[in-house]
Structure formats: structure tokens, C-alpha cells
Chains A and B, each alone.
Chain A
Amino acid sequence: MPAHAQGRCGHPEGVAAHDGDTASYDRIRDVWGPRTPHARGTAWPERVDVHLESGLSEGDVERWVPSACVLCSNGCGCDIAVKDGRMVGVRGRADDAVNRGRLGPKGLYGSTPWASSTDRLTRPLVREGGRLVETDWDTALGRVVATSRRLLEEQGPLSHGFYTSGQLFLEEYYLQAVIGKAGLGTPHMDGNTRLCTATAAAALKESFGADGQPACHDDVEHCDALFLYGHNTAETQTVLWARILDRTRGADAPRLVCVDPRRTAVAEEARRTGGVHLAPRVGTNVALVNALTRELLEHGWVDGDYVGAHTVGYDDLAATVAAYPPEEAERICGVPADDVRRAARIFGESEAVLSTVLQGFYQSHQATAASVAVNNLHLLRGMIGRPGAGILQMNGQPTAQNNRECGADGDLTGFRNWDNPAHVRELAEQWNVDPMTIPHWAPPTHAMQIFAHAETGSIGLLWISATNPAVSMPESARIRRILGGDQCFVVVQDLFRTETAELADVVLPAAGWGEKTGTFTNADRTVHLSEQAVEPPGEARSDLQILLAYADAMGFTDRDGAPLVRWRTPEEVFDAWRESTCGRPVDYTGLSYDLLRRRSGVRWPVNDRHPEGSDRLYADAVFPTDTDVCETFGHDLVTGGTVTELEHRARAPGGRAFLKAAPYLPPHEEPSEDFPLRYTTGRTVHQFHTRTKTGRARRLDEAAPDAWVELSAADAEARDVHDGDWVRVDSPRGAIEVRARIGPVLEGAVFAPFHYGRWDPTDLAADAGHRQANELTMTVWDPVSKQPTFKTAACQVTRVRGRDRGGS
């Protein structure tokens, strides 16, 4: 087995996948790029991917500005190419632990074109006579401040709600958290992270006491089995998938087990490596994972010493999963019992299992219970904290982790416990405010509840930053009604006039990636510094500057009457954040802009004990579950009822992890006579979120220009639907009309990509108003993580007309 050199260039497998004007290498077609296979335990070879605007070569680039990619949750280190004050391309950083030089198609083709798009917001807008008209900053911000002051006076801080993103920088979330929690004192703060990563956080908290990823991407190099639960890595994290392929195509390859109702590229690779593809009926994940767990117990694939010393809850777990022999899983999930046995055997007999979890679990029925079960499997085998053996509860967005860390979402800053008065006091001391100012009488309000309060008008000011809920939230018609109504004043801060901005009362033009400086952290705790490369267009300002201007105008003060917000630069905010993490699991105390400029990507915790950062958590099997340390006392996985401090103390976890399980419950909406099919939404490789950036990149837009639904050959035949035909999809809440694709989705299931709203870059899509996947989804959420369920609803498909002439 050859060991591969790690030089910057010139090693045998090094491949430069350059894509200039000649389009010499098409990463639209070859999504994962050339293979650099290597053997288990050896370093992942470098491969530097570059893309520059047509006609430019690397020699034309004036400056390369260090950053990391924000077009999926992977967080690949890259340099931004600048020429004539414009961002003209990107190049992967070979020295970065996350990607070793690689970039995916979204990163390559989508990172920069949006920035010089002619429809960028360059001036603030205010609503006049029902229409949005351009104005200056004083006028726009003046209206926000006047409304804010009036509501504070009349109704107090609970009249304010903030709905942020998974795409801002750490400094912006931290400032947002300070303004909301210490300035205003409102519990109504959440991010669209609720839609994509809330369950990752919830599952980690329930099992280990606090958020924080146990494993890191390097574990791909060391595992001998890789389990992917509802994680279509091949499309959602293409560089991580390239990393996995470099193992499965190399010597001593790991076996893959894929849990997905669609026969994805991941599923194909699972079969190819001698692993298993488990395709459960949508909404039945818990029955499947309970059966896998039971198999481990039945066959004694359990590290008894580890379980005895480092966990609590084994007996309850065993009692719950006892009811799920493989045949029961087959009955509920439609997965052959022998496949369940084979998958469990792979988990039970491998020496280093790496598991990854994403939306197929997080956005589905019983999300937290299913994701916690993955943690259980690893705890039972003691497979946490060593190379190759670990868990990656993934994120959906590049900076989602920071929203959770800083507490601009439904968390308390620094992974603190809102139910622990000592934790609240720590924050109050740092911010020098009365602890009573910081809302902690109940969990911070989750997104769906914030919108429900906005619906009744009891939240009278809703401020939305860098996200597009009019397309991305469930039951779109209801969301449009809430945002468009008079009961709530809506502020939207974005790069473009999104579907959401169109419904706002004030629209603030924001600077985007490369137009501002800040840090962000990916799902494996890797922190990057993203430096400003160019000036924002027109009067656009960074989200940090906008929030600072609001804080200044509101005049928030601490308990001594001094300004609450005294920082001016991103670095000053970062340093304040760093202080607030002292003594918490999310320890940034050893991190600085200086260190991040010297090293491309550093994994927290970084402190005196770990000055270079930490690849893995819990190598010592000591978990942050102590009652005085933990981020949560936990929940009933079935009802969401909170565990009290007293109950938590009585279990004396003292650093041991929790084994928790729940019985399977049928989904909230089962197929019926009128709606006989199961509707599930998801992603496609060439688009990100609601396409605000990727839709403005020509090559990505051309690769995936319009919505569709995928149905099985049998369901298509039964409805006389042929590939490319136009179909109508109805659920009890709405309908869409899109083209049909006959594909490898399970019989009885219908898959729709969620990216497509009314907006279209060409304005040519005749169906633009009728293609939004969330018109059909339900307003319902997981009892613990409060993540909405996008993967289970009932629907019907009807043929409308034949395919367009000339094909689609």
C-alpha cells in the first residue's frame, strides 16, 4: 500500500481540475471530480480545484483572499480570486483539513457570479402605498427604530422576533444574540437552522449533555464501516462524498450502509462495497433504528465495560427496542428483515464505524428519537472519540453551527442551559446586565412558534436576515399570509429581492460573502476566517454594520448606563464572543483572528490544554452531562416534556452519556384514498437553498433550471405518466404543477426538490408560480428539536399534459 505524499503539488495523485474559458473540466457532469484513491489510515491526497470567470487564467488574478466556501455545510477552505475590485473565481486550499484543495460544483460555479448580478439590492426599500420604493438608510432604519421603540413602549420586548439564518458569520450571530437577549430581552429568536440542523443539536444534547460534534471528517480515512442515515452526501456535501469515494475506490475500503428511501448514488456505492441499502418507508426511521439496536443487543455486539462505566439508561433502552425484531421492522418499514440483520452485523463486527446523519432523519417524523438512536448505537459499542469511530450529526448550512453556539437561535450563548440560573448569571455578568433581562423562563421560542405569534400579531416586529421563509418554510400559503399581512411589521435584510423581501415593510441591502470579514464553523467544528475581498455594491452594508446601527439608534445600555454594544469591528466582536465561551464545551478561548490567519481551519475546543485545537471530542468518555455543566436537562423524546433539574440530578449522570429510546409512532399524515402517495422533499446537487446564489450562476442554473417531481415506474404507469410529462401534485394543503421524472424513488413515494420558488433568473419559467414544494408540506414539528417535518405528507399525482415539445 503506497503512502501518499502531502506536498502542495506534484504528488502522484495530485490533479489540478482547472476550469477556465475552455471548460476543460466539466464539474457539472463530473460532480465529484477525478478520484485520488488511497488506503485506510493514509492521508487524503490533495487535489486543487479552481474556477475562474471565462477568459481569465490564474495569471490574471490580482489577489487571492483566504476564505471558506458557504454553498453547503462542508465549509471547504478556499481563496477568492479578485481582479479589478471584483470576485472572479475561487480556488480550493490544499492545506485545508476539510477539503485538501477540492471544491464542489456549487462552490466552483456558484461562489462569485451572484455578487455582480445586476439585480443586487443596492439601496434600502420601504413600503409606500403598497409598493416597495427605494430610499436612504436614515429613512429605512428610522422606520425600523420607530416601530421598535413604539412596540417596546406599548407591549415590551415580547413584541419583537428575529428570524436569522445558517449563512451569517459568527460575529453577526453573537451581536444578534446580545441585542436580542441583553438589549431587548426577547426570547423570540431563531434561525432557519431550525429547518435544517435543530435535530443535530437536539440529538447531541440529549445523548451527550451539550451540542458539539464528536467526530471529524478525517475519520473517513480511518473507518472500516460507514453508515449514512438519511444523508445523501453525494448531492448535499459533494466534497465529503469525494473523500468517501477516495476510500471506497482505494485499498482496504470501508463498507457503506445507506438508509434512504431513494436509490441514490450513496445507495449504489453501499451495494458496490458489499454493504447494504436500507430503504424504509418515509416516516418509519425509528422502527428501523430500534431493530438495528435490538440486533446489537441480541448478538452481544456491545462493549459492556464502556456501557457500564460511561452511560446511563441501558435497561430502558433494552426494554424499548425489545419490541422490534427484524421482522417487525420489515412489517413497518418495508425493509427486508435479512437486510436489517446484515446491516446490524456490519455495525456489530466492524472495528471503527463512522456514522453520518442528515435531513432524511432530521426533517422526518420522530426526528430526534431517530437521530439519538444513532448515538446509542455508538455508545453501545464504545465507538466514540477515536480515529474512524465516531458520529457526525451533520448540518445543512455553512454557518448553522455558529447560530447554535452564539445563541441567536433557540439556544443560550455558549451552549449554556436556560434552565440553569448559574449559567444565566454568567452571561449577565459578562454583558453587565440584570439576569432578569435575559429571557430564560422557558426555552427560547422556536421558529414555527415565532411565525405563529407573528400570525396573531402578538409579535409586531419580525426581522428576517439572510433567509427566504416564503419559499423554505412549510405550508407556504400560510407563511405568505403572515408576512404579507398588516398585523406584523416585517424587516428583511438580504442580497436580493427574494420572495420574502417582496412581502416586507422595510428591505435592507446586505453585503454578502467576500464583501465582509468574519468567521464561521462547519459541522465538524472547523473554524475558518473569511476575509473581505471586495467592497459591497452601492449602499449595501454588512449584517454586522446593520445590527450595530440599530443598536446605536436604540441606545441599549448595560446596568451601569454604559453602551451595551461597544464593538465596531468583526474582530472586536469575535474577541468578546471568545470570552463568553470560557469554561464551556464550545471553548474558543485559544482562538484569534491571528491564529486563523496562520492556519486554514482550526477545530474547537482551542484552549490552554488544546492550543492547536481538537480533532475529536470525548476520547476520554467524559461527557458534559453533569447537572451543573449540561446544556439541557433533556426531554421526553415522545412528548417533548422537559426533564426537571431535580429529575436530572437524581439520575446522577456525572459525565456519563444518556441512552434514550422511543417507540415507533405512525406519521401524522398517512396516505389515504384521496392522497395515496407519500410526499417527501429534498435537495439537488446543483442548487442550494432557495437558489438565491446558485440560481444566479449560469452553469448551475442550466444544470437544474426548474422543479420536478420524481415518482416510481409503477406509480407513473398507474397514472399514465411518462418521463417529462407535466403533472399536478396535490396534498390537503396545496398543489404544484411540475414535470415528472420516473426515477429510483420507492414505490408509493414522491420526491420534490424544495429549492424552487416564484423567482426565476430567466423569467421564462411559465410554471414559476406553481412549483414550490412547500405548498404541500405540513405545519408540524418534532416534539424535542422543533424541526418541521418536510419529509412526511400524503399526496396524489395526476397527469396534466404531455412533455413540452423539444423536451425539457
Chain B
Amino acid sequence: MPHLSTYVGLADHSENTLATSFRAVAEGHAQVADVHHTCLLLAGWSEEHRRALAPAVERYGEDRDIDEPERLHAAGLAETRAGEVGLLRDLQDLHVLATLVQTTWTVIAQGAQGLRDTELLQVAEDCNAETSRQLSWLNTRMKEAAPQALIVSP
């Protein structure tokens, strides 16, 4: 199942990228209290997803011979931006990363169903649901931040 292992690797890797990026935004915008604390919390969720996936990595292996997430990472949140518009852009980047994570879980869930791997299916569905909550928060926070950042921010 070479391609399932590719996707297991992609999930593990993209969750790691998302977790690291959430932590980067938490530190980069530490003065924005809710962003700081929520990003730390959500980074923890992604790290937990990797732990939940670990048995599948054992079972199917993890094919790291892929380059999509690295490209995203390189172009994404190695470092954060400053100011209100900067925060908006950083949240938007997190949203892009989380979308990649979510579609990855969707694909894995499809594979797990085909293989009748109920354990992996459960992991994929649970993680997918939490990724939705990460996306929901990002969307909410961007909507809140946008008007002031676009119109009045110095």
C-alpha cells in the first residue's frame, strides 16, 4: 500500500508543520493575549493527532519521499509578521496549512474504510473533527481582525 503510507507520512508531517506554525504565531503575537493562548492550545491538538497516528505509522510505514508540505512550510510560517495586518496574514497561512491537514485526513479516512482498518478510521475522523474546530477558530479570528486591520490600522 505505497500510497497509503505516503498519506500517513503526509498527515504526520503536515500536522507537525501546523503545530510548529501555531507555536510560531503564539510567540510572534504574544502581546495579543487570545491569539497567544489559543494558538498554544491548538498546537497541542496537532501534536496529539501525531501521537494518535503513531500506531498507523508503525503499521503502514511512513513514506517521507514527498515534497508538497516542505514547500508550504518554506513559504509559510518559518517566521511571523508584525502588526495587525501581519497577524491577519499569519492566521491566513495557518488556515491554509490546516486545510491541507484536513484534506489529508479525509483521504486517509477513505483509505482506512477500504482497508476496513477501524482503528485508523476512528483516528482520521476524530482528528478531522478537531481540525475543523481549528479552522473554525481561525476563520472567526480573521473575521474579527479584518476590518480594523484593513481600514484603520497604522
A→B interface (CB under 8 Å): 155-156, 158-159, 187, 439, 441-443, 445, 448-449, 452-453, 456-459, 636, 638-643, 665, 668, 778-781, 783
How many Å lie between the Cα of A441 and that of B139 in the bound state?
13
B154 in complex: contacting residue of A442, A458, A639, A641, CB < 8 Å: A458
A442 in complex: contacting residue of B133, B134, B144, CB < 8 Å: B144
B38 in complex: contacting residue of A452, A459, A639, A642, CB < 8 Å: A639
Q: Which residues of A contact B34 (CB under 8 A)?
A: 640, 780-781, 783
Given contacts A158-B147, A443-B144, contact A639 B42 (CB under 8 A): yes
Q: Which residues of B contact A642 (CB under 8 A)?
A: 136, 140
B75: CB under 8 A from chain A?
no
Given contacts A443-B144, A783-B34, contact A456 B42 (CB under 8 A): no
Given contacts A442-B144, A636-B136, A641-B139, contact A156 B38 (CB under 8 A): no
Q: Which residues of B contact A442 (CB under 8 A)?
A: 143-144, 146-147
Q: Verify A639–B148 contact, CB threshold 8 A.
A: no
A474: nearest residue on chain B (CB-CB)?
B33
Q: Verify B139–A156 contact, CB threshold 8 A.
A: no
Given contacts A158-B152, A665-B41, A779-B33, contact A641 B147 (CB under 8 A): no
Q: How many residues of B contact A (CB 8 A)?
A: 24
Q: Verify B37–A780 contact, CB threshold 8 A.
A: yes
Among A643, A778, A783, the one with the most B-chain Cβ atoms within 10 Å of its Cβ is A783
Known: A458-B84, A783-B38. 4 other contacts (CB 8 A): A442-B143, A639-B134, A640-B140, A642-B140
Q: Verify B137–A781 contact, CB threshold 8 A.
A: no
B128 CB, nearest partner CB in chain A, Å: 15
Number of A-B contacts (CB under 8 A): 71
How many Å lie between the Cα of A636 and that of B45 in the bound state?
15
Q: Verify B153–A640 contact, CB threshold 8 A.
A: no
B1: CB under 8 A from chain A?
no
How many Å lie between the Cα of A156 and that of B136 in the bound state?
29
How many Å lie between the Cα of A566 and that of B23 in the bound state?
52
Q: Verify B154–A457 contact, CB threshold 8 A.
A: yes
Among A457, A642, A665, the one with the most B-chain Cβ atoms within 10 Å of its Cβ is A642
Q: Verify B137–A187 contact, CB threshold 8 A.
A: no
Q: Verify B133–A636 contact, CB threshold 8 A.
A: yes
B66: CB under 8 A from chain A?
no
How many Å lie between the Cα of A453 and that of B149 in the bound state?
10
Q: Which residues of B contact A456 (CB under 8 A)?
A: 84, 153-154
Q: Which residues of B contact A459 (CB under 8 A)?
A: 152
B107: CB under 8 A from chain A?
no
Q: Which residues of A contact B152 (CB under 8 A)?
A: 155-156, 158-159, 453, 458-459
How many Å lie between the Cα of A367 and that of B41 in the bound state?
17
How many Å lie between the Cα of A636 and that of B133 in the bound state?
8
Q: 17 pairs across A/B with beta carbons < 8 Å?
A: A155-B151, A156-B151, A441-B143, A453-B148, A459-B152, A636-B133, A636-B136, A638-B41, A638-B133, A639-B136, A640-B137, A640-B140, A665-B41, A778-B33, A779-B33, A780-B33, A783-B38
How many Å lie between the Cα of A638 and that of B144 in the bound state?
18
A780: nearest residue on chain B (CB-CB)?
B33
How many Å lie between the Cα of A68 and that of B41 in the bound state?
45
Given contacts A448-B33, A452-B32, contact A636 B137 (CB under 8 A): yes
How many Å lie between the Cα of A668 and that of B140 in the bound state?
21
Q: Verify B147–A639 contact, CB threshold 8 A.
A: no
B63 CB, nearest partner CB in chain A, Å: 32
Q: Which residues of A contact B41 (CB under 8 A)?
A: 638-639, 665
Q: Which residues of B contact A441 (CB under 8 A)?
A: 143, 146-147
Among A158, A641, A783, the one with the most B-chain Cβ atoms within 10 Å of its Cβ is A641
Q: Which residues of B contact A458 (CB under 8 A)?
A: 84, 148, 152-154
How many Å lie between the Cα of A660 and that of B133 in the bound state?
15
A786: nearest residue on chain B (CB-CB)?
B34
A647: nearest residue on chain B (CB-CB)?
B136
How many Å lie between the Cα of A513 and that of B122 in the bound state?
61
Q: Which residues of A contact B143 (CB under 8 A)?
A: 441-442
Q: Verify A639–B33 contact, CB threshold 8 A.
A: no
B38 CB, nearest partner CB in chain A, Å: 6
A453: nearest residue on chain B (CB-CB)?
B148
How many Å lie between the Cα of A375 and that of B34 in the bound state?
26
A448: nearest residue on chain B (CB-CB)?
B33
Q: Verify A641–B136 contact, CB threshold 8 A.
A: yes
How many Å lie between the Cα of A778 and that of B32 in the bound state?
12
B133 in complex: contacting residue of A448, A457, A641, CB < 8 Å: A641
How many Å lie between the Cα of A778 and that of B37 in the bound state?
12
Residues of chain B in range 82-120 having any CB-CB distance to chain A below 8 Å: 84
How many Å lie between the Cα of A641 and that of B140 in the bound state?
6
How many Å lie between the Cα of A439 and that of B133 in the bound state?
26
Q: Which residues of B contact A665 (CB under 8 A)?
A: 41
How many Å lie between the Cα of A159 and that of B140 in the bound state?
22
Q: Which residues of B contact A779 (CB under 8 A)?
A: 33
How many Å lie between the Cα of A535 and that of B48 in the bound state?
65
Q: Verify B137–A158 contact, CB threshold 8 A.
A: no
What 1/0 mask marks residues of chain B from 12 to 38 whose CB sits below 8 Å from any chain A CB? 000000000000000000001110011
Q: Which 10 A-B pairs have the closest CB atoms?
A: A641-B136, A641-B137, A639-B137, A458-B152, A158-B152, A442-B143, A642-B140, A641-B140, A442-B144, A779-B33
Q: Verify B154–A668 contact, CB threshold 8 A.
A: no
Q: Verify A640–B38 contact, CB threshold 8 A.
A: yes
Q: Which residues of A contact B151 (CB under 8 A)?
A: 155-156, 158
A778: nearest residue on chain B (CB-CB)?
B33
Q: Which residues of A contact B32 (CB under 8 A)?
A: 452
How many Å lie between the Cα of A638 and that of B42 in the bound state?
10
How many Å lie between the Cα of A453 and that of B31 in the bound state?
12
How many Å lie between the Cα of A560 and that of B34 in the bound state?
42
A477 CB, nearest partner CB in chain B, Å: 14
B35 CB, nearest partner CB in chain A, Å: 11
B84 CB, nearest partner CB in chain A, Å: 7
Q: Which residues of A contact B139 (CB under 8 A)?
A: 641
Q: Which residues of A contact B33 (CB under 8 A)?
A: 448, 778-781
Q: Which residues of B contact A641 (CB under 8 A)?
A: 133, 136-140
How many Å lie between the Cα of A783 and that of B140 in the bound state?
11
